[in-house]
Amino acid sequence: MSVNPVRGLLDSLSVLFYISSIFGVIPYSLWAFAKRTAIQLSLVGNVWVVGSLVVYTGLYHVATINYTKDDWGSQSTLTNAIGIFIIYMEPFMMAVDMVAGMINQKRLAQCFDRLARLDNHLAGEGVLINNGRMRRYSIVLLLLMLLFEAIITVYSFVAFEEEFNAWSLIWFITTIPTALNSVCRIWYVMLVSAIRQRFNAMNAHMNAIAHGILHYKNQYAGEPDADIAEIPLDYLEKEIFTVYTQRRKQLTVATPPKKTNANATTKVITVKPYQPKQPASPPLKPSEFLPTDRRLRPHIEQRLDNKLILFCRTHDELCEIGKVVNRMYSVQMLVAMAHGFVAITAEFYFLYCSLTQQDVPILFRTAEVFLLGLAYIVYTALKCIVPIFVCWRTKTDSQRTGIELHYLANAVDEVHCYEVVNHLSLKLLNHQLNFSACGFFDLDMTTLYAITGAITSYLIILIQFNLAAIQKSNSNSTIASNVSTTAMAVVEGVVTTALTTYVSN
């Protein structure tokens, strides 16, 4: 078995790791993580995941049968089919998440290892990553999951369970698949957020350098001498400022003096001894570094080049890690989006039926209580919206790195820096980061807009069909009542005629 020691990010996700290991979401060794904070592949962990999957699926089926009881076939065939599809999509998604976790366990460990190496490289350039933020995010998401699961499960149990006994507590088993699906979504969100955090750290560092250079140029524009030691930046920026100051001094010396007026005193011209004529030096260009010591210029250029090249390589590595994460979770996200679309549409429709005093199938009994149905819709929507939003922001932040590079080059205002940045920006342009669901659609705000529009369209169609069915039912009942009234009138007429004939005779 291989051992992949991971520090930093995995330490901040320790709570999420323990919960996932205990409930069989990930197949790693719990003992190795508790002892060395390391990800270690484990045969026992894989067996635990498979056993948990079988037990949870069986108990979920028993709890569903006990919940529906004898009302399973009381509705139409189509309604029952939709209900069975939505109900059993939860254990199906759980099975997909667990099986994918076993298949991708080596990839996940490699992702944490690569992120740890990137953190070390960025720390060498003064870019520190605050992994404690990931810990707070994971705990907040876990608490939100626990809150929604508690509200939906407890409220449903109290509102719809007829007999409160030990066997009826099996209803709480249905919480496990939905909760484990949420835990898998949290893993995906945390990995993508970690990639986004490193993009933001690099972008913020380059932006701070550019702002510091521009502030220095504006602050000391009219002063020939500036105290470089008072500038609160790192070594590279101070060296750039030193060269900039020397360049400004030489440009000041090369500037011809202003003409004096006629009343000014006559200037005494000193005569120097004859000296051989030196070759004319090329004119000074404001866009070049002109330090007194020519050996200083290549030294500074190389250090600045190394910083920018490191950021470009880090950007490339983060994009590769993002592609690996996308491959690990693309199937799960496709299934999750399909379930979210169908479940939200059905819940909205039956919530409408409940508000209009129509019968609601037992598989969608939560729609009979408005607050309970609303909580279910919000919970299902959040499991789709949060991953889409995080993926979209990560994609936009990765594209902002090229903009920050050019902003820094504009602040430095040096020919060699422009050349390096133009070369690196081409590499960034050819390496785009994108998250998708098996290539069917991208996980960005356009997909969220499309899903929202589809839910609205199908909901309107279902309501129109419902209204047409109600009108047809009312018309049929009216015709039936008219026919029965006519028949009664005919019968009454016949009876009256017969009685009248009998009395007259």
DSSP letter string, 7-31: -SHHHHTHHHHHHHHHTTSS-B-HH
Residue 240 has pLDDT above 90, yes or no: no
In the predicted structure, residue 446 carries a pLDDT above the cut 50: yes
Judge whether residue 144 has pLDDT over 90: yes
Q: Say whether pLDDT at 156 is over 90.
A: no
Distant-in-sequence contacts of 108-112, Cβ < 8 A, 24+ apart: 108/26, 108/39, 108/328, 109/2, 109/4, 109/6, 109/28, 109/39, 109/41, 110/4, 110/324, 111/191, 111/321, 111/324, 111/325, 112/4, 112/6, 112/9, 112/10, 112/39
Question: How far, in whole angstroms, is CA 45 from its chain's centroid?
Answer: 28
Beta-strand pair 3-5/38-40 = antiparallel
pLDDT in tens, 175-197: 889 999 999 999 999 999 999 99
Q: Which two tokens stand for residue 234?
A: 């790192």
For residue 267, the model assigns a pLDDT of: 47
* Separation of alpha carbons 368 and 159, rounded Å: 10
End-to-end Cα distance, the chain: 111
In three state form, how does the secondary structure of 276-341 look? CCCCCCCCCCCCCCCCCCCCHHHHHHHHHHHHHHHHHHHHHHHHHHHHHHHHHHHHHHHHHHHHHH
- Cβ–Cβ contacts within 10 Å for residue 261, how many? 5
Mean pLDDT is lowest, of 279-293, 391-405, 460-474, for 279-293
For residue 172, give every residue at least 6 positions away whose Cβ sits within 8 Å of its Cβ, in sequence order, or none. Answer: 153, 157
**Is the Cβ–Cβ distance between 395 and 201 less than 8 Å?**
no
Q: Element (H or E) spanning 169, and its range? A: none
Q: Summarize pLDDT for 345-387 with one digit per residue, the tens.
A: 989 988 988 888 887 777 777 888 888 889 999 999 999 999 9
Average pLDDT of the residues in 459-464: 90
pLDDT at 281: 41
Residues 482-503 have pLDDT tens digits of 555 555 555 566 556 665 665 6
Query: Does the pLDDT at position 6 exceed 50?
Result: no
Per-residue pLDDT tens digits for 319-351: 999 999 999 999 999 999 999 999 999 899 889
